[in-house]
Amino acid sequence: MAKLLPDNITKQVKEIFSNMEGSVKALLFKSEKNCDYCSTAEQMLKELSELETKISYEVHELDSEMAGKYSVELAPSTILLTPDGDDKGVRFLGIPAGHEFGSLLQNIVSFSKGAISELSAESIKRIETIDSPVDIKVFVTTTCPYCPKAVLTAHNIAMVNKNVTAYMVEANEFQELSKKYGVSSVPQIVINDKVTFVGAYPEGQFVDQVMKAV
């Protein structure tokens, strides 16, 4: 496969990764069936790991024991682990390309530092009170400039509380899922299948919606 990252992007990525502290492992789950972007997602992780020795990745099949362990049902799915091997509930469904490539890079740097949430103290205090499972899906497209803000807010919420799992979902790759939730514009956020809103809400309002769904 041809190289995905051109030289000018590679230079920028190296600068971003210079802020990494510990090692980050990415788990990629792929399938031989109906997965147009699995090989591209694997190539992206390969190139990132070649740029930075603190990044490693593993590839697992969708029907593997590892997929069961992490409750992965769709491919390609990417999960990041901290230097201690902790899963913070951060998920990428589909290839994080275009504007979402920046979300992936930012998360990798954050995970290298233990995935400490960048939310305000007030928001963290509220999210820490959640004691039941919360599922946040952020539907995006790679051309949407507003989507990364929503994705990063959702991921930062997941980093606070082990009960929260937050997904970036590439709407065009998972059209059945998009149809199920009536996605017509992005970012569209679905929380616990009962609270839905469209737009990159400010942090406080986003947290309000999460608490409403709990």
- CB proximity list for 117: less than 8 A, separation 6 or greater: 124, 156, 157, 159, 160
pLDDT at 175 (0 to 100): 96
- Contact present, 132 and 214 (Cβ < 8 Å): yes
pLDDT at 1 (0 to 100): 67
73-96: pLDDT as tens digits: 999 999 999 999 999 999 999 999
DSSP per position, 140-186: E-TT-SSHHHHHHHHHHHHHH-TTEEEEEEETTT-HHHHHHTT--SS
pLDDT at 2 (0 to 100): 78
Give the Cα separation of 185 and 190 in Å (integer): 13
Q: Report residues of the chain scoring pLDDT below 50.
A: none
Question: With b meaning 16 or more CB within 10 Å and e meaning fewer, what string describes 102-138?
Answer: ebbbbbbbbbbeebebebeeebbebbeebeeebbbbb
pLDDT at 34 (0 to 100): 86
Angle at 67 between CA 154 and CA 117, to 5 degrees: 25
- Domains, the chain, in order of start with CATH, read 18-112 (3.40.30.10), 121-213 (3.40.30.10)
Give the Cα separation of 102 and 98 in Å (integer): 8
Phi-psi region of 208 (alpha: psi -120 to 50; beta: other; left: phi over 0): alpha
